[in-house]
Chains A and B, each alone.
Chain A
């Protein structure tokens, strides 16, 4: 293997930050993944001719102990002070090699990784010569960047060992509990007066059939009895300042209106009723209410949304009592934020499958509540009429197609799959079949997506129990219409059924249940305050769906549960635990280390024009501040590293080229381009 050995240097001579680059170039065979296509020896040979390259080596597996030790030795013994590795995707081993480099005493950012497997050998396996030349070019670009690498230090900030969790559904509760068990203090903020979120509205849950309350109750009990966790219900985040490790959060809390001594009496005394959102409007509740039996807190709350003047007058035991909302605002200091604001079931538009036009049309969440309201053994009735025939329609508000489905207020359709509705529908159907063996059940679907372990069994059970399935195509949604007078059932579902090769079928039904999808809770204010980004589907976006699945682009802000996308309980809990782990790792040492890839301003070039401040979307990331230069006070742009996300928007906006992104400077990109277009033969590189 070609080695361009150099005379040994004493470690004391290795002042890597100032001295001439001495680049070590390492080409990995990756077993045969790279080596069977790319001529690695030739790559090493050719790159060795480039200026500043002092060592070029190949290895079967550069990430192995042997490979890493070889690199470490070159740094220690041969004075290599920049490392370029051509191997698999940087996402897989960049961190590994940063560790290698720093173990040998070199700044870990004196290393550049070039992906020549996924982006070369694997995609050019039929063109060995082309792939080899491409590897030479790509790696010479890496070498060009390496010449300009600067030593960087991770940004170190002291951090509050405290996390804020926003949202008291199952995801938020689980995050809070996990965080506490990892030794952090936690504040949990829930917007509604009671904990539990949507899970509290479920009964039996797939895939285990366990009662939702039986799972949620103990979790709530753990959270509220935990001395490390402070819970604020009826509260919202109304202000955010600061950065990872040191966020200053303003919280505004509504009054409950009553305390334990007055609560029950106030509930009795209150005569005004409104639709009960817990039962999705199927029943009414008082203005002073408890969301559900056994809810936390057990103290009732006044529904201020329905008290427009901010107070409620009641006569209790012959006394006139005025209950007033006196919101209080307070600040907390926290190191990180978990966003667990959850979802809202899709509300069909008026007339969509007859919704709001025919009282016999309900959504699945409504139907689940309806089943709990009918005592065991009583017949299935809706509005006083017995139900003999019932139809379920899947994909309502999910997998919508532009031009076919009516857009919502924002002009968009929900083209994503909501993932939980298929199994949730089949679970409801199976329960229905058990309770009402004589009922005629029709299930009209586009696809059955019972994707999880134990989910398909729900479909198998329904199929085996006389549930009639029909299948429509997305472009030809079913229709729900009123039946003509004299028909036994009030509604007809019209469907072009592709299980019978497109036969047009009319199904008479007494009730229709729409399996509605999930939409994110609308949290525009929070999005603005936290500077997190929603995706095109309006759910919050992670940095990378596979590699950084719970982190947002804002350091210290992570996602848990259905705020990020449709998930079932298991997935929400997994995401919540992942979010808690991320935060715990971040904060548990009391200090935070951030990647140093942030904007840097050259004050010699900065004229304080302020374009950078204008284009930056992140508060306090870059601002104009007076700086003393040559005895004069002048305005210059200053970067607050902890608030800078490293997007580089300010770099292109600066008319004086005074800003650069550390680790990814424009000069480095220019050098890489130069290398890509360089006439290789001029420096002795072979061109067949």
Chain B
């Protein structure tokens, strides 16, 4: 059954590690499990690459929700998971300062076969976005 789509596309960017979330998304594909089409997955070796400003910029451009599907404690890169978590924690207050709901940014560990957790995260983020609406709304209010 196709998942219901929001009328105006609220875009979810999924930054997925090649050793975790990206392969997990491929596993979801192999199951032919349906999820919403407003999800755009970009592969990344390790999300510790992205500074906090990247997330702020991305929201400003109109991405409504970002899910970082990293490999958590199974990250093959030493210190990568810890550093990612640090950066995300430092990003939350900056989002608040700009009037953004911090639920728009989520860090979750997804493994190569974590198909149900993948689907749950996508559904949850869509539910949150349905509730809080497009990011531009929040950003324009905070600028007023």
Residues of A within 8 A of B (CB): 89-91, 115, 117-120, 122-127, 130-131, 133-134, 137-138, 141, 531, 533, 535-536, 541-547, 552-553, 597, 615, 617-618, 645-649, 651-653, 657, 661, 664, 666, 669-670, 672-674, 676-677
Q: Are B35 and A123 in contact (CB under 8 A)?
A: yes
Residues of A within 8 A of B30 (CB): 118, 122
Q: Are A676 and B63 in contact (CB under 8 A)?
A: yes
B85 close to A (CB within 8 Å): no
Query: Which residue on chain B has the smallest CB distance to residue A661?
Result: B49
With contact pairs A125-B32, A649-B46 given, residues A673 and B83 touching in the complex (Cβ less than 8 Å): no
Residues of A within 8 A of B35 (CB): 123-124
Q: Are A677 and B42 in contact (CB under 8 A)?
A: no
Residues of A within 8 A of B28 (CB): 118, 123
Candidates B5, B41, B54, B74; contact of A130 at CB < 8 Å: B5
Residues of chain B at interface, number, CB under 8 A: 48
Q: Are B40 and A676 in contact (CB under 8 A)?
A: yes
Q: Which of B11-48 contact A (CB under 8 A)?
A: 11, 13, 18-19, 23, 25-26, 28-30, 32-35, 37, 39-46, 48
B58 close to A (CB within 8 Å): yes
Q: Are B1 and A553 in contact (CB under 8 A)?
A: no
Roughly how many angstroms separate A247 CA and B110 CA in the complex, as a whole number?
A: 34
- Which of A123, A133, A137 has its CB near the most chain B CB atoms (within 10 A)? A123
Query: Which residue on chain B has the smallest CB distance to residue A90?
Result: B43
CB distance from B32 to the nearest CB of A (A): 5
Q: Are B74 and A536 in contact (CB under 8 A)?
A: yes
Q: Are B46 and A648 in contact (CB under 8 A)?
A: yes
Q: Are B45 and A664 in contact (CB under 8 A)?
A: yes
- Which of A89, A90, A647 has its CB near the most chain B CB atoms (within 10 A)? A647
Roughly how many angstroms separate A473 CA and B104 CA in the complex, as a whole number?
A: 40
Candidates A119, A652, A673; contact of B61 at CB < 8 Å: A673
- Which of B40, B54, B112 has its CB near the most chain A CB atoms (within 10 A)? B40
B62 close to A (CB within 8 Å): yes
Candidates A125, A141, A544, A674; contact of B42 at CB < 8 Å: A141
Q: Are A546 and B32 in contact (CB under 8 A)?
A: no
Roughly how many angstroms separate A221 CA and B74 CA in the complex, as a whole number?
A: 38
Residues of A within 8 A of B57 (CB): 670, 673
Roughly how many angstroms separate A117 CA and B25 CA in the complex, as a whole number?
A: 11
Residues of A within 8 A of B63 (CB): 673, 676-677
Residues of B within 8 A of A91 (CB): 18, 23, 26
Q: Are A647 and B87 in contact (CB under 8 A)?
A: no
Q: Are A677 and B62 in contact (CB under 8 A)?
A: yes
List 17 contacting pairs A-B, 8 Å CB cutoff, sorted by A.
A91-B26, A118-B26, A119-B25, A122-B29, A123-B29, A124-B37, A130-B37, A533-B75, A544-B18, A553-B78, A646-B45, A647-B46, A647-B78, A652-B52, A664-B44, A670-B54, A676-B13
